[in-house]
Amino acid sequence: MKHQISGTINDFFLSLDQVLKLADKIAAAGFLVVVSDFFYGDPVIDYNDPNFDVKSWGKVHNPDKGYEDAKAVIAALKSKGVSAIGAAGFCWGGMVLVKLASSTDLHAAVVLHPGSITEDEMLKLTLSDVKIHIAILEAEIDQWSPPEKLKQFGEKLSAKSEFDSFVKIFPGVAYGWTVRYNFDDESAVKSAEESHLDMLNWFTKKLADKIAGAGFLVVVPDFFYGDPVIDPKDPNFDVNSWLKVHNTDKGYEDAKAVIAALRSKGVSAIGAAGFCWGGMVLVKLASSTDLHAAVILHPDVKVPIAILGAENDHIFPSEHLKQFGEKLSAKSEIDSFVKIFPGVAHGWTVKYKADDESAVKSAEESHLDMLNWFTNAYHSTYTFIFTLESIVPDGRSCRMTMLFDISIMKVADKCAESGFLVVVPDFFYGDPVIDFNDPNFDVKSWLEVHSTDKGYEDAKAVIAALKSKGVSAIGAGGFCWGGMVLMKLASSTDLHAAVVLHPGSITEDEMLKFTVSDVKIHIAILGAEFDQWSPPEKLKQFGEKLSAKSEFDSYVKIFPGVAHGWTVRYNVDDESAVKSAEESHLDMLNWFTKYVK
């Protein structure tokens, strides 16, 4: 499920800094953000300047032209495989969005304090032409689009049941409040941030979208084959006949087929969430090794499992779930927990009134619990390659590629929070090192299959694929095994920058080759004071040789009091260990920000 917000994030007076801060908020929620300059470097600096000819400017930059420009951007995004596009329009951009709302190019839109919209445009948008989910956020004080006018607009839109819509008027604020406000005014900041949250919630409204927005690929198969239960309490509904056709055994087989199809496409780690009937299917799946983690919501186990139940549930009474949880907790090798939500009934996670504050809070709490479970459940050791993307002020698309060797979701989240899009393929092809110190583990055989030469070729293939998609700048980070791969990659021009963190054993020949003419990238090396694989003395000597290459920046940093793997394998209750790991993460991000972003 690939999502993108293509931003007609345009305002007459919106500064580049404001645009980028807002774009960063959206990107941090898991979206790829495109900020197009539809003014072609000619924004309105001061609308009240007596020397400014607004009519002439309006003729050059009219919303009709903006509409055509936006259509071209959307078409380009779709040609790259983008499947779902939302748009936010501020002021002038809001007028452009009103025109776009009559097409099927977008999936959703948020219009924020739009410029003046004609009665004809209002009428057109509230009749048969509106074809997207649309939200309108407006100020109480607005000379361009008075709130009374927009309220009437909202009433007409709400009559179109096939598309969701709402209009919200923010009290005590004036036109432009979402992006032009005094940072020292607590009330103004609160109103602006509330509008930003409303916008994000609109784009991530559905539960599957919430999960996708957190960085997961989401698949929602229809195991009912177009025959869902509309109302189980309907006296005319024959539940027994329905269950014979849609029994959970069949659901289990259907789910196994979907999992097999995902694995055939190279997906290496799969989690599942089951609601009601789906929870019963998930109980069956939990006895297999097909999944890595599961969450049962109002539901012989072999996967980490969380069960979220309702206090008032006639189908799965909370007492039964608590007993189930006690039995699960006895399985020390498998992580599990059961949580009963007070004051809610069966189905509360997805069937609730949007205007019931308590119901919304309980549902969103369950969604967050589910995301946290999936984020924290992957404790196996893998090597991954990350693709990180950001949009910089000059419009250049920059991407970083990073190799990691550990449970990756938290580190991936840090990268995403810095404005990067993160993609994670598995270079071990589902065959990680479970326990390197296990006497029954044949490390030599494993390394023959997963040699760093093969890792190098796999990484080259991924980099080539990225470049074929127009990626202009790539950086990489390598941890342990990934660090050895990165040493090989550093001698090519495929990368712009690299960070090597506690690399595995590197031969003297590789060291020699890497410190002479072959090194062609900016490189940072973060080592541990205690490391039998790459002793700090060896890395320091390496750094001295690298520093002689003035055309490329480099540095070596040795972290005191830590051992090999400290950046990703540490005790979260050890304040000193956490501090050292987080310092290394910050060093890595700063390096990429400096040379790639």
Ordered per-residue pLDDT tens for the chain, 597 residues: 233 444 444 444 444 566 667 777 777 665 778 888 888 877 765 666 778 787 788 788 888 888 899 999 988 888 877 767 888 888 888 888 888 887 888 888 888 888 766 666 655 555 456 778 888 888 888 877 788 877 877 777 777 656 778 888 899 988 888 877 777 888 888 888 888 878 877 876 655 665 666 667 788 887 887 676 655 556 777 777 888 888 888 999 999 999 998 888 888 788 888 776 787 788 788 767 778 777 665 444 556 778 888 898 776 678 877 877 787 777 666 677 889 999 998 878 877 777 788 988 898 888 878 777 766 544 333 223 333 332 222 222 333 333 333 345 666 667 666 666 666 667 877 676 655 666 777 878 888 888 888 888 988 888 888 788 777 778 888 888 888 888 888 888 888 888 898 888 776 666 665 555 567 888 999 999 998 888 888 888 888 888 877 678 888 999 999 998 888 877 777 889 889 988 998 888 888 878 876
- Model pLDDT, residue 255: 92
- Model pLDDT, residue 231: 55
- Model pLDDT, residue 10: 45
Assign 449 to helix, strand or coil. Answer: helix
- Model pLDDT, residue 399: 32
Determine contact, residues 268/431, Cβ cutoff 8 Å.
Answer: no
Strand partners, 168: 137
Could you tell me how many residues make up the chain?
Answer: 597
* DSSP H/E element including 7: strand 3-7
Rounded CA-CA distance 7/66 in Å is 12
Strand partners, 388: 400
- Model pLDDT, residue 52: 77
Domains and CATH numbers, the chain: 3-205 (3.40.50.1820), 239-376 (3.40.50.1820), 383-595 (3.40.50.1820)
Overall pTM surpassing 0.95 (yes/no): no
Strands (E), 465-591: 475-480, 497-503, 522-530, 554-563
Question: Which residues, 6 or more positions from 532, have their beta carbon under 8 angstroms from its beta carbon?
Answer: 564
Determine contact, residues 215/30, Cβ cutoff 8 Å.
Answer: yes
- Model pLDDT, residue 519: 76
Rounded CA-CA distance 280/509 in Å is 57
- Model pLDDT, residue 559: 95
Q: Among 372, 293, 303, which Cα is nearest to 334's?
A: 303
